[in-house]
Amino acid sequence: MNMRRLRLRAVWLLVLPFLWLSRPTLPLLAGGAVLGALGLFIRGWAAGTIHKEKELTTTGPYAHTRNPLYVGSFFLGLGVTLAGGQWWWPALFLVFYVVVYGTTMAGEAALLTEMYGDRFRTYAAHVPALLPRLTPWREPGVRGRGFTFSQYRRNREWEALLGALAAFGFLGTKLLLQ
């Protein structure tokens, strides 16, 4: 089983207990929604820029961090779990994130090194794996394609948006019914 499939299955195993045991409050729901929106923006920008398995993307958000989709996932996951109102959900999310995404990033770095060799090694030497650099790195002689909504749709990023809307909608409804 690949890491992507494991990530998705693990998340779905936690969704029902999370929704059942959540105790949202208005401040936590609002703060979580802000973090979630930031995560969705970062993920959307990255998904609309990357051409998976076709080229090494080093422009757009990829000029700041090698893994902007995972940075976005961090903010989105943290936002949803904080909105759940129980301290142990964000703690569980952080453990899950470090273990699963740490393994995923290491595997992807190895694959990209194999596929792109010195070009990826140069990129990795200038652009951090996770914590974004403030100024974008410019790969000499490379001009990126930039963000497009067609690429956003092709990468099925709308699924993350729908999932976030469902999670925050459920938590908001639960808050109103408490």
- Would 2 be classed as within a structural domain? no
Q: Kindly indicate the confidence band of residue 95, based on its pLDDT and cuts at 50, 70 and 90.
A: very high
- Would 108 be classed as within a structural domain? yes
Q: How far is Cα 170 from Cα 153, in angstroms, rounded to an integer?
A: 25
Evaluate if residue 177 carries a pLDDT over 60: yes
Q: Kindly indicate the confidence band of residue 160, based on its pLDDT and cuts at 50, 70 and 90.
A: very high
Domain count, the chain: 1
CB contact burial 143-158 (16+ within 10 A = b; e otherwise): ebeebeeebbeebebe
Evaluate if residue 7 carries a pLDDT over 90: no
pTM assigned to the model: 0.91
- Would 20 be classed as within a structural domain? no
- Would 58 be classed as within a structural domain? yes
DSSP 156: T
Domain that holds residue 41: 25-136+143-177
Q: How far is Cα 41 from Cα 97, in angstroms, rounded to an integer?
A: 19
- Mention every residue, 6+ apart, whose C-beta is less than 8 A from residue 117: none
pLDDT score at 1:
57
Q: How far is Cα 170 from Cα 178, in angstroms, rounded to an integer?
A: 12
- Would 31 be classed as within a structural domain? yes
DSSP string, 21-72: H----HHHHHHHHHHHHHHHHHHHHHHTT--TTTS---SGGGGT-S-HHHHH
- Would 12 be classed as within a structural domain? no
Average pLDDT, the chain: 92
Q: Which residue, chain included where needed, has tokens 């100024």?
A: 135
Q: Which amino acid is at 117?
A: G
- Would 10 be classed as within a structural domain? no
- Would 61 be classed as within a structural domain? yes
